[in-house]
Amino acid sequence: MAATLGALTLGLALPATGTANATAYKKYTWNSWMSAGDCYLYPGASWTIYPNGTAQLDATVSSSDGDDAWLMWAHLKDANFAVLADIRVYGSTSTKFVKGLPVANRRYRWFAEGRFDPALYPLIKHMSLNKHC
């Protein structure tokens, strides 16, 4: 695993709202490359959050070195960019999402599920990510 320490704050994403089968949601998409050490998150990575307190990640990641892992923390923010909460890994109290990258230069599609306090949903206006490889 690359020894890049210190989670760097990534760019903020603005929400796109929509409906799917009459279910409201907010989708935050990062349209630029992100990197940490040898690891890369491809443009188009997105978090979709729902009023019931669930969240879904859809991203593509890779590493130029084998035996790496992409670590990520997703921060939910209010209109003033103040952190409301971090998304927790589904079924856990951890806020650290991890995707293993065992083979160098191979792209991996990453789907993950998370949770947050549904009472915060109306306050969520922005998101940011921290990362580590």
15-24 pLDDT, tens digit per residue, is: 555 544 446 9
Residues 6+ away with beta carbon under 8 Å from 121: 49, 50, 51, 53
Closest CA to 61 of 42, 80, 33, 87: 42
As a whole number of angstroms, the distance between CA 39 and CA 101 comes to 9
Q: How confident is the model at residue 109 (pLDDT cuts 50, 70, 90)?
A: very high
| H or E stretch covering 110 | strand 108-115
3-state class of 112 per DSSP?
A: strand
Does residue 57 surpass a pLDDT of 90? yes
Entry pTM: 0.82
Q: What are the structural domains, with CATH classification, of the chain?
A: 8-132 (2.70.50)
Mean pLDDT of all residues belonging to the chain: 88
CA distances (Å), origin 89, targets 29, 56, 74: 19, 10, 10
